[in-house]
């Protein structure tokens, strides 16, 4: 509504949303580089599970959620 009130063309809306996000991302990146003690980035995630598992057809699955999955919450 604000962009319409400013009479900006609708083609410019995505750009207007992207500009502040880009500034915020650059500020976060600069802080990561300059402040070694307090990193604000997410820690690195390393998958430690099985590298290969057999595929089970949908019709053959019993509907149980495997232990450790996000859905078992």
How many domains does the chain fold into?
1
Q: Is residue 33 part of a domain?
A: yes
pLDDT at res. 1 = 80
Q: Is residue 5 part of a domain?
A: yes
Does any domain span residue 49? no
The answer to whether 29 and 20 have CB atoms below 8 angstroms apart is no
In a domain, 58, yes or no: no
Q: Does any domain span residue 72? A: no
Query: What is the distance between the alpha carbons of residues 73 and 68, in angstroms, rounded to a whole number?
Result: 8
Residue 22: give the domain boundaries: 1-41
HEC string of the chain equals: CHHHHCCCCHHHHHHHHHHHHHHHHHHHHHHHHHCCCCCCCCCCCCCCCCCCCCCCCHHHCCCCCCCCCHHHC
Closest C-alpha among 45, 24, 26 to residue 34? 26
pLDDT tens series, the chain, 73 aa = 888 898 989 998 999 899 999 999 898 888 888 877 766 566 678 888 888 988 989 888 887 766 555 544 4
Over residues 10-30, the pLDDT tens digits come to 998 999 899 999 999 898 888
Query: Looking at the domain assignment, is residue 11 inside a domain?
Result: yes
**64 in any annotated domain:** no
């Amino acid at each position: 509504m604000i962009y319409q009130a400013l009479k900006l063309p609708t083609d410019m809306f995505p750009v207007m949303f992207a500009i502040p996000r880009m500034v915020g991302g650059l500020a976060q990146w600069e802080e990561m580089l300059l402040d070694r003690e307090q990193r604000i980035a997410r820690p690195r995630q390393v998958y430690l599970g099985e590298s290969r598992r057999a595929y089970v057809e949908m019709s053959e699955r019993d509907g149980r959620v495997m232990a450790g999955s996000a859905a078992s919450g």
